[in-house]
Amino acid sequence: MRPHPPATTVLAVHRDGEHRFSKATVDSIELQAGLGVTGDAHWGRTVQHRSRVKANPDQPNLRQVHLISQSLLAHVAEQGFEVRPGQLGENITLANMPGWQWDELIALPVGTELRFAQGPVVRLTGLRNPCVQIDDFQPGLFAAMLDKNGQGQLIRKTGVMAVVLQGGAVQAGDSVTLYLPPTPHQVMERV
């Protein structure tokens, strides 16, 4: 894998032991290899998302860590919504830096690795699919999280999902370096 500059930093980290829409901002989170965020409702080797557990509880958990870019919050603010870090249920909010905008983050290929300053490594598995619960949080926000590109394909703006390859602590201010997988690249789809 090769690094893909520039690096960014972690704006904030979040977790919640219950299946609620938003997550509380905390000083740091602990990532565990193959499991996710310690103390978070989505921690585990098999799928923890309630609708996916109903469908097949033995599926591998490809949604161990949820990441978004701070630029997504600014993007929806331009549409009249006020959303703070953690309120979309993400575990890690990345700082708004060139190369790390919300649309650039969701355009990364499957297998991209994010390496954090204190040692943790996550591998991107796919896109978070927005759900209608977003409208319970703020009416109309669900529609703002979806769009269509020039070819009529659906764009899901709600960030990316990842699995933990190497554990360790992550906290606000940590640097994050992105490593692209070898080509050919696979486009991320919802997981």
Domain coordinates in residue numbering, the chain = 2-180
Half-sphere exposure of 38 (CA within 13 A, CB side): 11
The neighbouring-strand residues paired with 141 are none
Look at residue 53 in the predicted model and tell me its pLDDT.
59
DSSP assignment of 80-142, as one string? Answer: T----TTTT--SEEE---TT--HHHHHTSBTT-EEEETTS-EEEEEEEPPP-THHHHHSTTHH
Look at residue 103 in the predicted model and tell me its pLDDT.
96
Look at residue 133 in the predicted model and tell me its pLDDT.
87
* CATH fold of the domain at 2-180: M1 Pyruvate Kinase; Domain 3 (2.40.33)
User: What DSSP designation does 46 have?
Assistant: B
Those residues of the chain that have pLDDT short of 50 are none
Look at residue 79 in the predicted model and tell me its pLDDT.
96
